[in-house]
Amino acid sequence: MDFIMCGIIGFWNIEKQAFPVIIDSLKKLEYRGYDSFGLAVLSESGSLNIEKQVGKVSETKCNEVSGKIGIGHTRWATHGKVTEKNTHPHIDCSRKIAVVHNGIIENFQELRNELLRTHKFFSETDTEVIPHLIEDEIREGFSLKQAVINTGKKLKGRNAFVVLHADTEEIIAFRNGSPLIVGLKKINGFSEIFIASDIQAFLHETKEVMYLDDDQIVIIKEKPEFYDINTNEKIEKRLIKIDIDFSPVTKGDYAHFMLKEIMDQKQTLMKAINQNDRELMHVAEEINNSRGVFFIGCGTAARVCHTAEYVFSSIADKHVNFVPASEFGNYKHFLLPETLVIAISQSGETADVLEALKIAKEKGSKVISIVNVQESSVSKISDYVFHINAGPEKAVASTKATTSQIAVVILLAYACSGMLREGDRLLVDLAAKVNDMLNPRYSEHIKNIAEKIYQKENMFIIGRGVNYPMALESAIKIMEVSYIHAQGFGGGELKHGPIALIEEGTPVIVLVSNDVSRDEIISNAIEVKSRGAKIIGIAPENNEAFDYWIKTPDTSEISSSIVNLIPVQLLAYYLGILRGHNVDYPRSLAKSVTVK
């Protein structure tokens, strides 16, 4: 899982009611946060009508309010509990300024303590300082535009916010880190203008967009006007036509998006390996000639980066470094212009990844990215981009994007070794085996195993070699959707402490591949079985050590990273279902995190 927090939408026009447009857009942004939602609409009388609700916008009825200009927000709670008072938008004391926000204000306590002398606060959020700061700036004689700029500069951290002012009838947006995109639709000579944290919010209305970059604001009134916050100079933006199919994504015949996306892997692996050979070889040359390669990512993407260490060592006889993006700043002293930083991200908007890439750019290092979202912030700042082409991933727990990312990493390693054709053949064969593996009987078998262990509260996963990071990723999947405490370990590490936690009946998943580590990981399974563990073997062949066996195709050690992970994805799915959880939208999680 890659995390994105909070969805923002703004809508300005002179003909259409804003409420249904904002609600529809918030539903499309719900994957970014679904704790609560709210909107502010400017009424014909010049006042702000504000409606807030706790819960998912797709499942909760909101009172309709009239007006043609408005802003909306769907929340993933970071500061303050999930309550109506903490739901966005937040307003100033005069009730003239409404703000929706994505990010974390790192210095909000300092700002709030200063503001408490003259302002009344109603929420526990960091966001509420923004309208009060703007209010003070206007009181000091600054225009709304300058007040927004001055306020934005006072905020520490990666933030984006959108302001609606009742008197000026303007929407102004500020960006420093978190994404914001403007959409423009012309109808009968009049314009409808959207601003959102993701183009999916309005792409059903228009595919003509302008990008708001860091350290910029946009003023929306009749037309969008962009300004540099440091020079105050106006910026001319090019109107870009987005050539992406964003047809509504449905579950089809599947009960949940997660199950559908697991099954999508029959096709997505082939899409992932359909890369431009010339670009692969060019990047491979860059890797081979570099002075240090760092793979960075967060959450599930970090586990793919960890896997890259094994993949490049095994295939290309090359050392690469894995560093969690959130820790990358500690390694900046090793960065040179000849260093390569390879970022892996499903969304391309993860805050810690963007912060790490900012460091890399400051050091003059080149950036390569492996992403799923083409028009993402990571894509835009990269020197080279590999799109995994997995299509939209709606479930919070990443499945098809993960295996596609691993496939591209494997391709790059083969390109570095001068054996790209061999890598292509291996992955095409692997995709065919995955297609055969994902059938109804296979899923039913895994469901039957899940029924035997779903009431357990602790679970362990072990693997060796490339299956060690896959054990870590397996633990993430199980925890995300079933809320079972799960931990992954290298097979050899379990007896150095964690084996003390094994009790009679504790499920231990063992990831096995037919390679030199096979006998060792089986030996580890026998060790924990002797302490009472129930062994779930994920392997090409059955073994007497297994209490339950999930068969996988017999592939190379490197390919086993993909074929061993997919059954764990299915197991996690069924564990979550049996425990009565919403597997598409787990509690406290959202699809990708645009805050550190």
Please confirm whether the linkage preceding 89 is cis (ω < 30° from 0). Answer: yes
**Residue 172 bridge partners (DSSP):** 163, 219
- Local structure of 438: helix, strand or coil: coil
The answer to whether 11 and 193 have CB atoms below 8 angstroms apart is yes
Residue 29: partners with Cβ closer than 8 Å, 6 or more residues away = 7, 8, 9, 74, 196, 197, 198, 200, 201
Which helix (H) or strand (E) segment holds residue 519: the answer is: helix 518-529
The answer to whether 594 and 177 have CB atoms below 8 angstroms apart is yes
- Other CB atoms within a 10 A radius of the CB of residue 253 amount to 8
- Local structure of 49: helix, strand or coil: strand
Rounded-to-integer distance, Cα 33 and Cα 26, Å: 10
The answer to whether 591 and 403 have CB atoms below 8 angstroms apart is no
What are the tokens at 161?
A: 């916010």
126-to-30, 45, 104, 106, 397 alpha-carbon distances in Å: 21, 30, 7, 8, 28
Rounded-to-integer distance, Cα 569 and Cα 567, Å: 5
Positions marked catalytic: 6, 591
Rounded-to-integer distance, Cα 561 and Cα 363, Å: 33
Rounded-to-integer distance, Cα 253 and Cα 142, Å: 56
Task: Give the dihedral sign, CA 576/582/583/587.
Answer: negative
The string over 400-425, giving b where at least 16 C-beta atoms fall within 10 Å of a residue's C-beta and e elsewhere, is bbbbbbbbbbbbbbbbbbeebeebbe
Angle between helices 144-154 and 129-139 (to 10 degrees): 130
Ramachandran angles phi, psi of 580, nearest 5°: 80, 25
- Local structure of 235: helix, strand or coil: strand
